[in-house]
Amino acid sequence: MLIGRLKTNLGKSAHGGQTLYDHLIGSAKVAHRVLTDYRFAPPDYPKHKRDQLLFSTFIHDIGKLDCRFQAMLVAARAKEPLPSKRVKHEASTLDFEQLLRESEDEIKTHLGHVLGYQFTEKIDIDDALAFALGHHGLFHLSFEARNGEVLRRVRRDTTVFGYGEQRRITLTDLLFDYHPLGGLVMIADLLASFCYEQRVEDSDDIIWRAKTFGELINLAVLEGIADKVEESIKRYDPRAYGLRDLLTLLAGGLA
């Protein structure tokens, strides 16, 4: 269901285009390497958090299935003028919430087959959605009461509470809840993107040079990985993300 759609949609526009599936499985492979390496993941790091981080990494760009975002990537790949209507893919995440919920078992089975990883815990879909919304540091998940229902909404301004808001899950919440690996979705996405853009076979060389997760994040800053990925994003979205600054703050929190 979901896997098939990922394979028929774009994830990157450079070098003739990369499928969304290939980008997400590349990101999941980075996350898997980190989660199974005791330099980064403490031996007592809870299994349910390992399961959650790997799952969330694989679905972090689900919002790119938005047809408007696909149109942006297609135009960028063809080096044609971009559509007048542009969207941030993270903001489209909730459009695919039901598809994600229906695909939980399919994703677990598929990742188990590809990575040899065994999921044993129930996935918190709300946390997975919040990771997807926040992996570029721009959006968070808000729960708001409407006519007796609690609805999930995408919000950007953390200083303003939406009408009827009961609670929210922000990137800061995730960083605390999944410490010290709360930034894994972010760094896995960056490394997978960097390797594709720079035509590097895989990220092993970068990963093996770091002794801690904090050092891995610092490498992404000091070696310009964040800057190069942001430059590639500008092919289809010229608005700034500030990835270097976001990673610098994240690394500082782990120091």
Q: What is the pLDDT of residue 255?
A: 60
- Scanning the chain, the segments in alpha helix (DSSP H) are 2-7, 20-35, 47-59, 67-77, 97-102, 104-115, 125-134, 171-177, 184-197, 204-208, 213-222, 225-233, 243-254
- Residue 239 above 80 pLDDT? no
Summarised one tens digit per residue, pLDDT across range 198-231 is: 999 889 989 999 999 999 999 999 889 999 998 8
Q: What is the pLDDT of residue 201?
A: 83
Q: Which two tokens stand for residue 122?
A: 């129930």
Summarised one tens digit per residue, pLDDT across range 77-96 is: 999 999 998 899 999 999 99
Cis peptide upstream of residue 180 (ω within 30 degrees of 0)? yes
How much is the pTM?
0.96
- Choose from 146-150, 160-164, 233-237 the range with maximum mean pLDDT: 146-150
Q: Which two tokens stand for residue 108?
A: 């677990």
Q: Quick check: helix, strand or coil at residue 65? A: helix
Residue whose tokens read 């696909």: 70
Helix (H) or strand (E) holding 143: strand 140-146
